[in-house]
Amino acid sequence: MNEKLKKSQLARLGRIEGQVRGIARMIEEERYCIDVLTQIRAVRAALNKVEQETLGDHLEHCVARAFHAGSEKDRKAKIEEILDVLDSRRS
């Protein structure tokens, strides 16, 4: 992972961590359910962004490397890894 993306991801994950702690406080304080649900959706959206960027980086570097310099076995392994991550039913 390149350094710029790594810093961005770590900053985003730090904000997500704070959001999750905020949700816990909201639940402890028995805040309005819709407000809690709204915050949960925001955390999911932020995690989805981290996932998309990480997947993109993986495809651009690890998978591309396997397809350009790796063997047929390496290419198949990278495809299987991605399919397993994207489809939990395969596990």
pLDDT at 69: 84
- Tens-place pLDDT, residues 35-78: 999 999 999 999 999 999 999 999 998 888 888 887 888 888 88
89: left (phi over 0), alpha (psi -120 to 50) or beta: alpha
Average model confidence (pLDDT) across the chain: 92
pLDDT of residue 7: 96
Q: Where are the domains of the chain?
A: 3-90
Residues in the chain: 91
- pLDDT higher than threshold 90 for residue 30: yes
- Would you state the CATH architecture of domain 3-90? Up-down Bundle (1.20)
pLDDT of residue 75: 86
